[in-house]
């Protein structure tokens, strides 16, 4: 009778248990928030900005002049911003489908680009898209829109009259068209109404990429750390000669033709902040809560405060570096060293204190070769 009574009680409770909604839990809620409030808006902005770049470039190609060149250069910089932010969440399609390589392979291959311009193949987007990642993307457009040594007059002259100029214009048009296409495809892959990765990322143990919620949150943690390492080691450390303890290596300054290196790193820090706060809103926005920082603060308010302070310090130190960045590196400007120290402190706190607070597991760093 006792067994039968227990069975009856369980049977009576079963429907009630089934009807109780199961919440996300704090970690899953963070992942969902980052996907919907950070990743999707950043990729949507990237789509809009790359389309504006494509259109500004088309106007420049139709009638090269200083005003149209300035507009195309500004459009390039504007499109670069959301892309630099998005490097803080390099999970899913951006890696799996090679969008990162197609959009932002560095170093670019100017010699091969020049060879194609001086060649005879029809420079269509499909043809150029098959040449390899270091001949397309942001940096290929950059070398065609900017000239750090000879300036805008040289860019306009190269886009002017003659067969080589016409082919240069065709290459530029194709590269910016490809940028817009790839940005749109990346957004579509995340879009809940199309590729749906924004939903799949929280489909834990189902059709999503993560078997457990911890694996998913660890991925966000690791990508934040990897981006901080990329800034410290590759974008600042290598040009400063840190690996060898020697002289600065100006050739390792990224985005040098546009003098966009500092802007790139500021975009990276904004991306780190967005993932940490769960918002792309302005610093201190009322809704800036719900990212990784929510989980850190629940365990250690002191570590949370330290991360926030070091994000601010890194951004301030980078903003203080004089332009051009390559010149500041060559002259060993004190502000460059200060930026390296500030970002180094941020990286160290993320990789030790934040990891400890979250009980995260560090994974292999794939920054090698970036």
DSSP codes of every residue in 41-74? HHHHHHHHHHHHHHHHHHHHHHS--HHHHHHHHH
Other C-beta atoms closer than 10 Å to the C-beta of 284 total 9
Per-residue pLDDT at 152 exceeds 50: yes
Mean pLDDT of 209-231: 96
Q: Report the mean per-residue pLDDT for the chain.
A: 91
Residue 246's pLDDT is what?
84
The owner of tokens 């078997």 is 211
pLDDT interval class at 314 (50, 70, 90): very high
Check residue 23 and report its DSSP letter.
Answer: P
Whole-angstrom CA distances from 119 to 1, 115, 146, 166, 231 are 90, 6, 22, 12, 37
Q: How do residues 27-77 score in pLDDT, each as one tens digit? A: 999 999 999 999 999 999 999 999 999 999 999 999 999 999 999 999 999
Residue 367's pLDDT is what?
59
Per-residue pLDDT at 188 exceeds 50: yes
Residue 209's Cβ-count burial label (10 Å; 0-12, 13-18, 19+) is: middle
Residues in CB range of 359: below 8 A, 6 or more apart: 214
The owner of tokens 């069975």 is 7
Other C-beta atoms closer than 10 Å to the C-beta of 178 total 22
89 touches 272 (CB < 8 A): no
The owner of tokens 């950043």 is 42
Mean pLDDT of 167-185: 98
97 touches 184 (CB < 8 A): no
Q: Which tokens hold the place of 299?
A: 């365990």
- Nearest-angstrom CA–CA distance, 286 and 276: 14
Q: In the chain, what are the domains?
A: 26-192 (1.20.1420.20), 213-358 (1.20.1420.20)
Whole-angstrom CA distances from 123 to 52, 159, 166, 172 are 21, 15, 10, 9
- Nearest-angstrom CA–CA distance, 76 and 92: 25
Mean pLDDT of 132-137: 96
Per-residue pLDDT at 2 exceeds 80: no
Per-residue pLDDT at 148 exceeds 50: yes
DSSP string, 152-187: HHHHHHHTSSSHHHHHHHHHHHHHHHHHHHHHHHHH
Q: What is the rounded end-to-end Cα distance, in angstroms, of the chain?
A: 70
Per-residue pLDDT at 225 exceeds 60: yes
Which residue, 266, 273, 248, 286, is CA-closest to 339?
266
Residue 282's pLDDT is what?
63
Residue 13's pLDDT is what?
32
- Nearest-angstrom CA–CA distance, 160 and 332: 38
pLDDT interval class at 162 (50, 70, 90): confident
Mean pLDDT of 114-135: 97
């Amino acid at each position: 009778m006792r067994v039968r009574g227990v069975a009856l009680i369980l049977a009576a409770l079963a429907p009630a248990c089934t009807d109780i909604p199961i919440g996300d839990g704090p970690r899953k809620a963070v992942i969902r928030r980052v996907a919907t409030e950070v990743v999707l808006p950043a990729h949507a902005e990237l789509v809009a900005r790359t389309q504006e770049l494509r259109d500004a470039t088309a106007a420049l190609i139709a009638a090269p002049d200083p005003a149209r060149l300035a507009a195309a250069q500004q459009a390039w910089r504007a499109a670069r911003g959301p892309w630099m932010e998005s490097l803080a969440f390099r999970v899913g399609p951006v890696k799996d489908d090679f969008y990162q390589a197609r959009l932002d392979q560095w170093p670019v291959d100017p010699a091969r680009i020049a060879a194609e311009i001086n060649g005879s193949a029809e420079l269509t987007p499909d043809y150029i898209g098959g040449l390899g990642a270091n001949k397309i993307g942001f940096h290929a457009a950059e070398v065609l829109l900017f000239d750090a040594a000879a300036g805008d007059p040289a860019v306009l002259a190269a886009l002017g009259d003659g067969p080589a100029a016409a082919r240069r214009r065709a290459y530029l048009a194709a590269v910016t068209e490809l940028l817009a296409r790839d940005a749109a495809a990346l957004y579509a892959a995340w879009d809940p109404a199309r590729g749906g990765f924004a939903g799949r990322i929280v489909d834990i143990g189902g059709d999503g990429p993560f078997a457990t919620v911890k694996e998913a949150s660890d991925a966000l943690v690791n990508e934040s750390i990897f981006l901080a390492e990329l800034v410290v080691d590759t974008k600042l450390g290598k040009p400063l000669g840190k690996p060898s303890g020697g002289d600065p290596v100006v050739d390792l300054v990224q985005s040098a033709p546009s003098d966009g290196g500092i802007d790139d790193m500021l975009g990276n820090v904004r991306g780190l902040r967005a993932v940490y706060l769960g918002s792309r809103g302005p610093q201190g926005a009322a809704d800036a809560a719900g990212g990784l920082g929510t989980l850190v603060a629940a365990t250690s308010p002191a570590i949370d405060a330290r991360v926030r302070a070091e994000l601010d310090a890194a951004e301030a130190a980078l903003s203080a570096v004089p332009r051009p960045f390559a010149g500041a590196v060559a002259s060993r400007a004190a502000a460059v060293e200060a930026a390296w120290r500030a970002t180094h402190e941020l990286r160290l706190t993320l990789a030790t204190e934040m990891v400890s607070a979250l009980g995260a597991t560090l994974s292999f760093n794939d920054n090698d070769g970036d």
